[in-house]
Structures are given as structure tokens and as C-alpha cells.
Chain A
Amino acid sequence: MAQDPGKMKAYWKKNLKTLFILLFIWFLVSFGFGILWVDELNNIRLGGYKLGFWFAQQGSIYSFVVLIFIYVYRMNKLDKEFDVNEE
């Protein structure tokens, strides 16, 4: 398939930027809030939960789900924009 290499480069660059942002959030909600800063966050309360504990056992998982769906939405849009989507 003959695709314009410059356009493909731009597509790939935008893809990498999306990945970078989403993986940053992925790291933040799990390794950040759930592990590295768990003690600090535990001073804040969320109902009957300590916030750090909530991130480690609930919040990180909800965030993961949301992250994947944002990715699906973003990429489908990007594919159309660069005309590389499937029929």
C-alpha cells in the first residue's frame, strides 16, 4: 500500500503522544497513588476509605478501564483523520 511517508510519520508521532499521556496516567494512578504516595494519600478520606488504599484496591482498576476506552476513542478518530482506518 503506497502511503505518504511524511503523513505516516505525523500519524505515528500523534499515536506516540497519545500513548505517552495515557501511560503517564496509568503509572500515576497505580504506582503513584497506590504505592509511592499511598501513606500521604491515606490521610485523606473518601467515605469509609482511606484515599491511598482506595486507589490501590479500587480506583486504579476503574482508571485502567477508562484509559482503554479513551484510547479506543482517540485512535479511531486519529485513524479517520489520517485516512488509515479500516473500511
Chain B
Amino acid sequence: MDILTWTYILVGLSFTLYIGIAIWTRAGSTKEFYVAGGGVSPLANGMATAADWMSAASFISMAGIISFAGYDGSVYLMGWTGGYVLLALLLAPYLRKFGKFTVPDFVGDRYYSNTAKVVAVICALFISFTYVAGQMRGVGIVFSRYLEVPIEWGVVIGMCIVFFYAVLGGMKGITYTQVAQYCVLIFAYMVPAIFVSMQLTGNPIPQLGLGGELADGTALLDKLDGVLGELGFAEYTAGRKGMMDIFMITLALMVGTAGLPHVIVRFFTVPKVKDARLSAGYALVFIAILYTTAPAIAAFGIYNAINSTSEKEISTLPVWVSNWQKTNLIAVDDKNGDGKIQYVADPATNELTIDRDIMVLASPEIAELPNWVVGLVAAGAMAAALSTAAGLLLVISTSVSRDLFKTFRPDISEKKELRIARIAAAGAVLLAGYFGVNPPGFVAQVVAFAFGLAAASFFPVIIMGIFSSRINKEGAIAGMISGLIFTLAYIIYFKFIAPELNTADNWWSGVSPEGIGSIGMFINFLVCIVVSKFTPAPPQEVQDMIQEIRIPRGAGKAIDH
């Protein structure tokens, strides 16, 4: 059977599974809709968190980014996993004990102020929307590439699927669908990686293969350093960005991960505080399987790509090159007309352009694996894109129905609230789909900054809300606003107002806009502490509440007001 048939079969099967689960676990109450009734086991929650977390970008693009960035790609590996340590140690258990449904809920109660809550809702909506618009686009690209339909159709198909299980099932439907999606995506990611690792290094475990030796006895990474050096590129294992920048980007990604509302909300779905801690551990295990494999795929991919093309006759190139040339992910241009490919660092004489997405997408073909593996990778990429989009849409609908609507109309019935949540989810799907079809130029650029914004706005006020009983509402509001505005201003200045100045020389202390969220976070902390010092301490009942969330005993299931 050919690749397209296999893709239709495997993608069709996986979608049937997701929809089946969604119908089976349909939410009947607001509690089931927001936090799956608070009854998800830590293992299932960990798996769902992992699927929620790993987007189409993690699945398709991350390995490719590392292929071309080498050591510098470590910022994503460390940044997107290290945040879970912060989450497990500093946030998850306490927020679970607090026992409400959302991050703005916590901010509103802890800082005894609807103003603080509304500021938090705006931050949450802003972060989730920039993120989800990018995801919908990702969904469209994946669908169109594999199903060979136009990108618009890809987005529409993706919207229908997400609509179906996010709007019907709420958090309950999403959680169990994400468990299935995790299984699909990790299987699809590992199979080609294991085969390629075996072919190159003889070791079936990619994490060990990366440190293994090639057939000629030299270590893969040393060989790669040498080959890239000869072609005029920087060494694979050496850094190219400044150390300060690497440090700050990693920090912003870590703290941003811990501050992302769609990740935090997952820890409200388990029954106990103990489970919230454990669940973060499981989530990281499931994430780490992919994140430690990605650098191996990255190195194998770039090595294979260079090895099978560089200085080779164009007429004798392997068949995968011409296959992917059709999609414009590989471009060959014989500039000097010698009939061979010169892949070099200098753009004036370089004859081969490789898109980073190819490292994962083409790996089954490069390794000459059967067609069903290619179909499997397609199903995996779609699982990754859909699970993340669904999780984000739920945060948006919860923010609207609960944090905004119910704050000002506290007397609405549960049935009505549930209906508003569903309408909000439907509206969010449509809006996200619109941005997926007509992506405004800024979306792609802004997605990466969602982390910086989360780091600069949420993280400090949640941490201090738990670990300090002196921080008051004035401090929190001033901190969130100053952190957000500083970060936003820096990003907007370098990305939109004066993009020509966006070079290391002009950056403040060598920190790029990607890493500025870290500085925003420090500013937030500082402003928050100073303002709190000069304004009255929080009332006694808030101080009592802080003492209460610090101990695990007495955590009921997530409760309503």
C-alpha cells in the first residue's frame, strides 16, 4: 500500500478513537467540564499533561531546530522540562490544596480583589490566544501535508475534531482523549528514532546512540563537529549565542512553562495534594521520553542529510530528496553547474536548502522504513497538535464563563454556566480557526513570547502568594502589570518597531527578546515586594488561608464557591 493510503487508515483510526472517548466521557456538570470532576488518577493526568504540553512544534520542529542550532538548541530541551521541577515543587501541591478551578480564581482569592482577578484573566486570555492561534495553524499544516488537502481545509477539519471533543467533553473528555493521543504520538516518535539509531550506531536506544560510535569507530558527535567545520558551519557541540542570552532564554522558558495557565490547570484535576506532586513527576517522565530522544533525532538527521547529499551527483540522490522537493522542504540549486551538491555555510555558494521540519517528517524515509511508519508519524503529529489546541481552548472558555462571567454574575445556575462555557469554547474554536486560515503576520512570532509573558506576569504573584503572607493586592497588581508591560514593550520594540536593531549589540546586556521574560519576572518580583512593603498587610482571613494551603490535610475535591 502507498503512503497516502496508510496515512488515511492510521489517521482515521486514531480520530475514531478520540471521538469515541469524547462521547463516552461526556461532561455533565461544570465541575466535570472544568476539572474532570477532580477524579483523574495521577498516572492518567501525567500522560494527559504531557500530551497537552507537547505541541505540533515539539513533535515536528524541535528536533529540526536542534539539528541546525546544535548546542544552542539546549535552551528548549532544558527550558521546557526544567519548568516542571518548579511546577512540582513550588506550585502544583499548593494550588491543588487551594481547591478552586483556575489560576485567576487563585489570584482573585489570595489577593482579595476582583481587579487582580481581571488582570489575571486578561493575562491568561492573552497568553492562551497567542498560543492557540499558532497551534491551529500547525494543525492546518500537518493536515494539508499528509492528507494532501489545501491548508484551509486542514484547519477546518482540525476545528471540527477539536470542537467535537472540547465542547462536548470539557476537561473530562479532553483528559482521556489526551491519554490516547500521548500513546499515539510517543509511539510514532520513537519507532523511526530507534531504527535510525540502530542503522547509524548499532544501538537501539537513541539516547545512547547519540553518544555512540559510527561504523568507522569515531564518535558520532565528533564526526559531526568535524564535518560541519569543514563545510564552514559552527561546531555542533559548541555554543553560538552569548552565554547570558542562553541563560536568560532557558530561564524564561522554564518559568514560563510553570506559569502557563493550561499546564497549571491540569493539577486541579487530581483527587489529592499527594497526587498533584506525583502527577507532575509522571508528566515529566512522559515528556522526558520525547525530549531526550529529540537531540538524538536532531544529530542523526543532520548527519544523514549531509552524508547522503554533500558532494554527491544530483542525478544519483536518494529518492526521499526528490519526494520532499515537491513540498519545497528541500531545495536544490546547482549554482556552479558541476552536477554535484555543495552544502556549505556561505549562502552565495550553498546549493542545498533544508527545512528544519524535515528532520522528523522525513526520518522514516531516510531510514528506508516501510510506508506504514510514515503514516504513523502523520497520526502522531496530528495527535500532538490537536491535544494542545484542545487544552488551550478549554482554558479560554473557562476564563470567559467562570472568571469573567461568574465574577460579575455570581448567581447564575450551574446549567446556565455550563452552557456559557460551551458557547465560549465554540466561539474560541471559531476564532482560533479564523486565525489558522488567515494567520496575521505577528502570530508566529508572538507564540514564542507567550512564555516570556507568562514568566513575567503569573509566576511571581503565584509564588509569592504561597510563600509570603505579607504580599498584598496592591503589590500583586503593580507587579503583574509592570512585568507584563516591560516584557511586552521590549518585544514590541525589537520585533515590530525597530526590527533592524534586533541584534546582540543593541540588546540590553545581550538579552534577546526571547529571553527578556526573565528580566520581566525579576521586575515583577521587585515591584511586588516594594509596593507591598509600603501598603497595608493582607487581612487576617487571607493570612489564615495561606497557612491552610501550606499543609496537605483537608484537601477535598476541587470545590465550587
Q: Which residues of A contact B (CB under 8 A)?
A: 1, 3, 8, 11-12, 15, 19, 22-23, 26, 30-31, 34-36, 38, 42, 46-50, 53-54, 56-58, 60-62, 64-65, 67-69, 71-72, 75-76, 79, 84-86
Bound together, the chains give a CA A69 to CA B292 distance in angstroms of 18
List 9 A–B pairs whose Cβ atoms lie within 8 Å, in order of A's numbering. Answer: A8-B551, A38-B239, A48-B210, A48-B213, A48-B219, A64-B82, A65-B281, A72-B278, A84-B552
The residues in B between 210 and 244 inclusive whose CB is less than 8 angstroms from any CB of A are 210-213, 219-222, 237, 239, 243
From known contacts A36-B247, A58-B295, A62-B292, infer whether A49 and B210 are also in contact, taking CB-CB under 8 Å: yes
From known contacts A35-B246, A48-B222, A61-B291, infer whether A86 and B82 are also in contact, taking CB-CB under 8 Å: no
- Does B266 reach chain A (CB closer than 8 Å)? no
Partner of B211, one of A48, A71, A72: A48
From known contacts A11-B551, A23-B89, A65-B285, infer whether A34 and B78 are also in contact, taking CB-CB under 8 Å: yes
Chain A residue numbers with a CB within 8 Å of B213 are: 48
- Does B262 reach chain A (CB closer than 8 Å)? no
Please state if A85 and B281 are interface contacts (CB–CB under 8 Å): no
Chain B residue numbers with a CB within 8 Å of A53 are: 71, 221, 237
Contacts A11-B551, A47-B219, A58-B292 supplied; 14 other A-B pairs, CB < 8 Å: A1-B548, A8-B551, A26-B82, A31-B251, A35-B243, A35-B246, A47-B211, A56-B71, A56-B74, A61-B78, A65-B281, A72-B274, A85-B552, A85-B553
- Does B88 reach chain A (CB closer than 8 Å)? yes
Chain A residue numbers with a CB within 8 Å of B281 are: 65, 68-69, 71-72
Please state if B292 and A61 are interface contacts (CB–CB under 8 Å): yes
- Does B554 reach chain A (CB closer than 8 Å)? yes
Please state if B84 and A64 are interface contacts (CB–CB under 8 Å): yes
Main secondary structure of the interface of B (DSSP, over half): helix
Chain A residue numbers with a CB within 8 Å of B547 are: 8
- Does B194 reach chain A (CB closer than 8 Å)? no
Please state if B77 and A57 are interface contacts (CB–CB under 8 Å): yes
The residues in B between 65 and 98 inclusive whose CB is less than 8 angstroms from any CB of A are 66, 71, 73-74, 77-78, 81-82, 84-86, 88-90, 93
Query: Chain A: which residue is nearest B548 at the CB level?
Result: A1
Bound together, the chains give a CA A65 to CA B287 distance in angstroms of 10
Query: Chain A: which residue is nearest B219 at the CB level?
Result: A48
- Does B58 reach chain A (CB closer than 8 Å)? no
Partner of A75, one of B84, B277, B292, B554: B277
From known contacts A8-B547, A53-B221, A71-B89, infer whether A64 and B74 are also in contact, taking CB-CB under 8 Å: no
Interface bin, chain B: 35 or more
Please state if B555 and A86 are interface contacts (CB–CB under 8 Å): yes
Please state if B272 and A86 are interface contacts (CB–CB under 8 Å): yes
The proximity string for B residues 348-376 relative to A, scoring 1 for CB distances below 8 Å and 0 otherwise, is 00000000000000000000000000000
Chain B residue numbers with a CB within 8 Å of A19 are: 89-90
Chain B residue numbers with a CB within 8 Å of A56 are: 71, 74, 77-78
Please state if A48 and B90 are interface contacts (CB–CB under 8 Å): no
Bound together, the chains give a CA A68 to CA B49 distance in angstroms of 15
Please state if B90 and A30 are interface contacts (CB–CB under 8 Å): no
| B74 → chain A closest CB, angstroms | 4
Partner of B284, one of A8, A35, A54, A68: A68
Please state if B288 and A47 are interface contacts (CB–CB under 8 Å): no
Partner of B221, one of A15, A48, A85: A48
Query: Chain B: which residue is nearest A25 at the CB level?
Result: B85
- Does B550 reach chain A (CB closer than 8 Å)? yes
Please state if A60 and B78 are interface contacts (CB–CB under 8 Å): yes
- Does B273 reach chain A (CB closer than 8 Å)? yes
Please state if B552 and A48 are interface contacts (CB–CB under 8 Å): no
- Does B207 reach chain A (CB closer than 8 Å)? yes
| B218 → chain A closest CB, angstroms | 9
Question: 6 closest A-B pairs (Cβ-Cβ)?
Answer: A48-B219, A56-B74, A68-B281, A48-B211, A49-B211, A57-B295
| B357 → chain A closest CB, angstroms | 20
Bound together, the chains give a CA A11 to CA B292 distance in angstroms of 36
- Does B250 reach chain A (CB closer than 8 Å)? yes
